[in-house]
């Protein structure tokens, strides 16, 4: 099974939690608390990822990044989006240098 398929499966599970009982599901509880609660978790997990990196703790970097990705999937589902929407955007960018892309947005003077 490809690594991308775990994102797809997890996205599907998360979507099923909309309207599920907050008593039995962490994701349902987040949905019931609303957008700000989801955004707070993303902010928290991003900060924890930064701290793990600064501490040079690779295992913790992996764990915090997993938390960050997971909560980002919850935010996507909140907006009715799926991991496929983000994967399609990454595919669209594939092979386009960030430096070139930035210059094309800023016009010839920035090159
Ligand atoms: N991948 C995850 C996952 N990663 C992290 N978490 C939860 O996200 C929370 C992370 O928050 P913290 O690290 O800040 O821990 P905490 O202090 O306990 O959290 P808070 O009380 O502050 O919210 C923890 O409660 C973790 O258990 C996850 N919860 C669920 N999943 C997946 O989502 C599926 C659906 O989950 P439920 O909706 O709970 O059934 C599960 O089967 C898993 O596949």
Element (H, E) at 68: helix 58-78
Distance between CA atoms of 53 and 107, rounded to whole angstroms? 35
Domain 3-83, CATH = 1.10.287.1080
What percent of the chain has pLDDT above 70?
93
Checking if the pLDDT of 24 tops 60, the result is yes
The answer to whether 80 touches 31, Cβ cutoff 8 Å, is no
Asked whether 26 lines ligand 1 (CB < 6 A), one says: yes
Residue spans per domain, the chain? 3-83
Asked whether 6 lines ligand 1 (CB < 6 A), one says: no
pLDDT at site 68: 98
Backbone angles phi, psi at 81, to 5 degrees: -105, 165
Asked whether 13 lines ligand 1 (CB < 6 A), one says: yes
Checking if the pLDDT of 15 tops 60, the result is yes
Closest ligand 1 atom, CA of 66? 4
Six-digit token pair at 60? 């913790």
pTM of the model: 0.91
Q: DSSP alpha helices (H): ranges in 1-111?
A: 3-16, 26-33, 35-54, 58-78, 83-93, 98-106
Checking if the pLDDT of 111 tops 90, the result is no
Confidence of residue 25 (pLDDT cuts 50, 70, 90): very high
Per-residue pLDDT of 48-67, as tens digits, reads 999 999 999 999 999 999 99
Asked whether 17 lines ligand 1 (CB < 6 A), one says: yes
């Amino acid at each position: 099974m490809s690594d991308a398929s775990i994102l797809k499966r997890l996205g599907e599970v998360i979507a099923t939690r909309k309207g599920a009982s907050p008593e039995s599901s962490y994701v349902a509880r987040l949905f019931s608390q609303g957008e700000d609660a989801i955004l707070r978790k993303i902010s928290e997990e991003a900060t924890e990822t930064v701290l793990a990196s600064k501490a040079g703790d690779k295992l913790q970097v992996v764990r915090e990044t997993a938390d960050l990705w997971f909560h980002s999937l919850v935010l996507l589902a909140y907006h009715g989006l799926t991991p496929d929407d983000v994967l399609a955007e990454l595919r669209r960018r594939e092979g386009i240098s960030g430096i070139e892309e930035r210059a094309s947005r800023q016009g010839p003077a920035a090159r």
